Amino acid sequence: MGFFRNRMTAPGRGVKKEDVTEAFGLKRFFVTFADKFWKLVVLNLLYFLVNLPLFGIFAYLAGVGGIPYATPTSVVYQPMYGALMHDSHPALLALHGAVGIQTTHNAPDTVTYVLLGLGLLVLFTFGMGNAALTYVQRNFVRREPVDLAPDFFLCIKKNFRQAMALGLLDLLFVFVIAFDLTNYLYGGQTFGTLVMFYASLFISLLYLMMRPYLYLLSVTFDLKLGRLIKNAWILTVAGIGRNLLCGVMAALVFVLNAVVFAFIPSLGVGMLFIFTVSFAWFFQIYGAWPVVKKHMIDPFYEEKTVSPDEEEEAVFTDRG
């Protein structure tokens, strides 16, 4: 087992050998997806129920609250207005009409700060929602019976500390990568900034493929955070082909949502809350689980002989 050592024989429900022997091909994917379609929709709603603080951020971005005030749209307006105070030349008056177009902004008020404060709570709920979503979808892939809402919230109860820490690291890394990509893209088109932009883009793609393994391992194995990150990285490299394919499929779900939002915003927002997150994540979990099975579960069966007369024990601790 080498670098995948962990406490795999600790007590827990785990998974039995017959549950992991079937190949995870396209046929099984479509059968599972069709069978669990409406449960995936319910999962998406449960995910946003846990991450309810997100609605505070959405409300703030939608302009709820704040004290409206008018401001010019052009940065040329102020110097032009200063010149107009000294000389009311017809050309300046014409320029005033061209660059003096006003727009409305909102100054922060109490409602704004309350919404932002509520939105910050997502720092604590993000990881728990992802862990619970991963746990239930992993059981879908393994074709285990699932009691949807109870299993979802039980996973949060059992894993909230590590899930919360993982969510904080997840958000921090996403923020840093997004900041770097934006900074290097608009920071001047020099050779150095282009190199750093593509390096950051490459790292972000690797991390996006690594994320499903982080949450899969956290709800499946009893691992410390450092070992969890290390094993997730190794599995990402080991399953790079499946990760790329399923990552593209997941990205297409978000692209579809973005296109619909561009033309019909209300429908696009509805899609996000109804199925987008759950469907996209299911593609990635379905792609990642066979890699976990191959490198962390199958070797256990190869090394351990189970007597036919003995009750077959769980392969690993199921943290859900």
Q: In this structure, are 46 and 176 located in the same domain?
A: yes
What pLDDT, in 10s, does the model give residues 18-30? 444 457 888 888 9
10 CB burial (10 A radius; 0-12, 13-18, 19+):
middle
Q: Are residues 101 and 24 in the same domain?
A: no
Return the pLDDT at 112.
84
Say whether both 266 and 297 belong to one domain.
Answer: yes
Domain hosting residue 185, numbered range: 2-63+121-303
Mean pLDDT of the chain: 82
| 317 domain residue, yes or no | no
On whether the CB atoms of residues 119 and 56 are closer than 8 A, the answer is yes
Number of domains observed in the structure of the chain: 2
Looking at the fold, whether 53 and 97 belong to one and the same domain comes out as no
Answer yes or no: do 153 and 26 share one domain.
yes
Same-domain status, 48 and 101: no
If asked whether residues 142 and 243 sit together in one domain, one would say yes
CA 110 to chain centre: 30
Indicate if 76 and 207 belong to the same structural domain: no
Structure tokens at 227: 């070992």
Tell whether 147 and 239 lie within a shared domain.
yes
Q: Which two tokens stand for residue 141?
A: 């892939």
- In the listed set 77, 107, 137, which residue is the last one of a domain according to the structure? 107
- Does the residue 84 lie in any domain? yes
- Residue 273 is assigned to a structural domain of this protein: yes
Position 312 in a domain: no
Q: Is residue 315 part of a domain?
A: no
> Do 101 and 217 fall within a single domain?
no
Residue 295 lies inside a defined structural domain of this protein: yes
3-state secondary structure the chain: CHHHCCCCCCCCCCCCHHHHCCCCCHHHHHHHHHHCHHHHHHHHHHHHHHCCCHHHHHHHHCCCCCEEEEEECCCCHHHHHHHHHHCCCHHHHHHHHHHCCEEEEEECCHHHHHHHHHHHCHHHHHHHHHHHHHHHHHHHHCCCCCCHHHHHHHHHHHHHHHHHHHHHHHHHHHHHHHHHHHHHHHCCCCHHHHHHHHHHHHHHHHHHHHHHHHHHHHHHCCCCHHHHHHHHHHHHHHCHHHHHHHHHHHHHHHHHHHHHHHHCHHHHHHHHHHHHHHHHHHHHHHHHHHHHHHHHHHHHHHHCCCCCCCCCCCCCCCCC
- Both 172 and 46 in one domain: the answer is yes
Asked if 157 and 32 sit in the same domain, the reply is yes
Give pLDDT tens digits for 173-227: 989 888 888 888 777 678 778 888 888 889 999 999 999 999 999 999 888 889 9
Residue 311 in any domain: the answer is no
For the chain, list residues with pLDDT below 70: 1-22, 73-78, 80-81, 83-84, 86-89, 91-100, 188, 300-320
Asked if residues 320 and 158 have their Cβ atoms less than 8 Å apart, the reply is yes
pLDDT at 8: 38
Q: Is 54 a member of any domain?
A: yes
pLDDT in tens, 126-145: 999 999 999 999 999 998 88
